[in-house]
């Protein structure tokens, strides 16, 4: 399951989505997240799903790879659905047996939250899967440049976020190796109750933290050895610039926003 985590990983390619300017992808991803929270009906989510599905197909990313990334959050999805299903008590009663009562409002809210989380994970995964760490750094830095006048270290902030994303796959591989090494020595991470499972993770977390700090120290020393001094005076081999593809992607997303607003208005009528 650890290897199923797709956030932070990058798949090289030359698709339509790969060629988009990273600033466009970052802005559209941010607006896409907001758009998911303003949808008020299932029709809107249907159009949002169609939009992200078309994006995945244009990015030429295998659908199995995308949906495999949902496995690690299955427990979170199940917990969210059950919590909303039994805690929200609005609308008419759909099912009642003993102390268990399911309302229409609870079923609707549970469905909305589950769909929203699934689309959210898929959308953010597409951003990292189609954008290299260097492009992400440049894109975030360019977007934060206006805030430099307020004293925000745009380059350092962008570098910090990108390094954090870049090291997610590295830490996943490191965790998998440590788990296999501990299991070869007789460790059991599956059996027992919650407390016993938490205790069994201690032999895993200690070497993982040690290796993480070691990698961070090695990275800092490597950057200093190469005379890295931040973004001031740095040049770029690839200068970011918008193209017709960015305009097409932006117009397609504007169309999705318009459809969402229309479906929300229709639902209120």
Domain boundaries, the chain: 1-131+239-269, 153-238
Q: For the segment 41-87, what is each residue's pLDDT rounded down to a tens digit?
A: 888 899 999 999 999 999 988 887 777 777 777 778 888 888 888 88
Q: Check residue 234 and give its pLDDT.
A: 67
pLDDT at 255 over 90: yes
pLDDT band at 198; cut points 50, 70, 90: low
- Report the share of the chain in percent with pLDDT over 70: 89
- The whole-chain average pLDDT of the chain stands at 81
Across the range 155-170, mean pLDDT stands at 76
Output the pTM of the full model: 0.76
CA–CA distance, 221 with 179 (Å, rounded to integer): 28
Unique residue bearing structure tokens 């650890």: 2
3-state secondary structure the chain: CHHHCCCCCCCCCCCCCCCCCHHHHHHHHHHHHHHHHHCCCHHHHHHHHHHHHHHHHHHCCCHHHHHHCCHHHHHHHHHHHHHHHHHCCCCCEEEEECCEEEEHHHHHHHHHHHHHHHHHHHHHHHHHHCCCHHHHHHHHHHHHHHHHHHCCCHHHHHHHHHHHHHHHHHHHHHHHHHHHHHHHCCCCCCCCCHHHHHHHCHHHHHHHHHHHHHHHHHHHHHHHHCCCCCCCCCCCCCCCCCCHHHHHHHHHHHHHHHHHHHHHHHHHC
Q: For the segment 213-245, what is each residue's pLDDT rounded down to a tens digit?
A: 888 888 888 888 887 776 666 666 677 788 899
Instruction: Classify residue 81 by its DSSP letter.
Output: H
Q: Which long-range contacts (CB under 8 A, 24 or more apart) does 152-155 make?
A: 153/230, 154/231, 155/230, 155/231, 155/232, 155/234
């Amino acid at each position: 399951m650890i290897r199923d985590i797709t956030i932070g990983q990058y798949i090289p390619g030359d698709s339509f989505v790969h060629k988009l300017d990273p600033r466009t992808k970052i802005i559209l991803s941010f607006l896409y997240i907001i758009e998911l929270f303003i949808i008020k009906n299932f029709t809107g989510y249907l159009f949002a799903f169609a939009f992200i599905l078309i994006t995945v197909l244009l990015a030429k990313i295998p659908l199995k790879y995308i949906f495999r990334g949902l496995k690690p959050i299955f427990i979170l999805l199940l917990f969210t659905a059950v919590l909303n299903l039994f805690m929200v008590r609005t609308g008419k009663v759909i099912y009642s047996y003993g102390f268990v009562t399911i309302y229409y409002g609870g079923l609707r809210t549970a469905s909305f939250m589950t769909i929203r989380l699934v689309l959210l994970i898929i959308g953010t995964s597409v951003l990292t899967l189609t954008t290299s760490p260097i492009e992400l750094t440049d894109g975030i830095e360019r977007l934060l440049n206006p805030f430099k006048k307020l004293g925000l270290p745009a380059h350092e902030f962008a570098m910090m976020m990108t390094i954090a994303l870049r090291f997610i796959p590295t830490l996943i591989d490191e965790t998998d190796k440590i788990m296999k090494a501990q299991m070869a020595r007789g460790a059991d991470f599956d059996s027992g109750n919650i407390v016993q499972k938490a205790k069994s993770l201690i032999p895993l977390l200690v070497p993982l933290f040690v290796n993480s700090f070691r990698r961070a120290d090695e990275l800092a020393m490597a950057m200093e050895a190469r005379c890295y001094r931040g973004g001031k005076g740095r040049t770029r081999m690839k200068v970011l610039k918008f193209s017709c593809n960015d305009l097409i992607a932006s117009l397609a997303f504007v169309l999705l926003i318009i459809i969402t607003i229309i479906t929300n208005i229709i639902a209120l009528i």
